[in-house]
Structure 1
């Protein structure tokens, strides 16, 4: 999985590539397609023109890949070791999973730890379990037991099921 984050002025677009492959040859095309989906009268990618001939965008992307873009971040957890996160950071990472609709269906602690790892973060199952239990006790997330396994989910998932 790769994550592409493009920042255009105050606007920021992030694309998660779970269903498609991104490499240095397709990166420019993906960024152009993303910029075409910005609403009218919003920031656009502007290419400055100079009197000296510059390589085309396709040539730059092919030659330099992500180095050619300002503020480009490459995150490919399947190729990198996950970053170990502390117990204090887990709740904010769980919020990221929540906003990406991960908890729309009931999830176990093991599934949650695996999903965090897919995002490039490593956390102990005990710390994740503790954070989820605290969130459930504060009614930030729902919890139920099924076949002696505790599962955590959003309130909307309860309504949908």
Structure 2
């Protein structure tokens, strides 16, 4: 699975590909197509007017490596990076902002999602972090049939 996030100014597009494959040859085309979906006159792809001389070894580098703040992780080809117990909460916050916890999730599902993002964490560390977040009312917790689920509640907008 490939995840491409393109942020231009205040506009942001994220593509989470489960149904198609992105390779180095199609990456530029995908980024160009994504910018076409941003509001007109707010985004454009800027190409260098003068060619940049690159060493012969780097001519095969991924197009994402040339972008600022681009992260590349393909779980089917790479091993996830182990995260320390004190980093788990910040990674869970990333899952929360990507709306992962909009539906109730178990610790196992959360560990699997972290792996999809390229992070490996022990289920015990994830469980402790989620339990602490629930006790601090940062996330909600529901237990039924010996299974605990963690989730966030959508904020209600008053009319």
Q: CA deviation at 1:94?
A: 0.7
Contact 1:2 1:17 in 2 (8 A): yes
Q: CA deviation at 1:41?
A: 2.9
TM-score (norm 2): 0.78
- Which residue of the partner structure matches residue 145 of structure 2? 147
Number of residue pairs matched?
Answer: 147
- Which residue of the partner structure matches residue 36 of structure 2? 36
Deviations along 1:6-56, one digit per CA (max 9) or x if unpaired, are: 454676654332332111222121111111122233231123445xxx7xx
Structure 1: stretches of 5+ with no match in the other structure: 55-61
Give the alignment partner of residue 117 of structure 2, picking from 116, 119, 123: 119
Q: How does 1:1-161 map to 2 (within 5 A)?
A: 1-6=1-6, 8=8, 13-49=13-49, 65-66=62-63, 69-71=66-68, 72-156=70-154
The change in CA–CA distance for 1:155 and 1:10 in structure 2 (over 3 A counts) is: closer
Contact 1:66 1:74 in 2 (8 A): no
Deviations along 1:121-146, one digit per CA (max 9) or x if unpaired, are: 00011110010001111111110111
- Secondary structure at the counterpart of residue 155 of structure 1: coil
Higher relative contact order (CA 8 A, sep 6+): 1
Question: RMSD value over aligned CA atoms?
Answer: 2.6
Distance 2:4 2:76 in 1: 15
Structure 2: stretches of 5+ with no match in the other structure: 52-58
Distance 2:48 2:79 in 1: 38
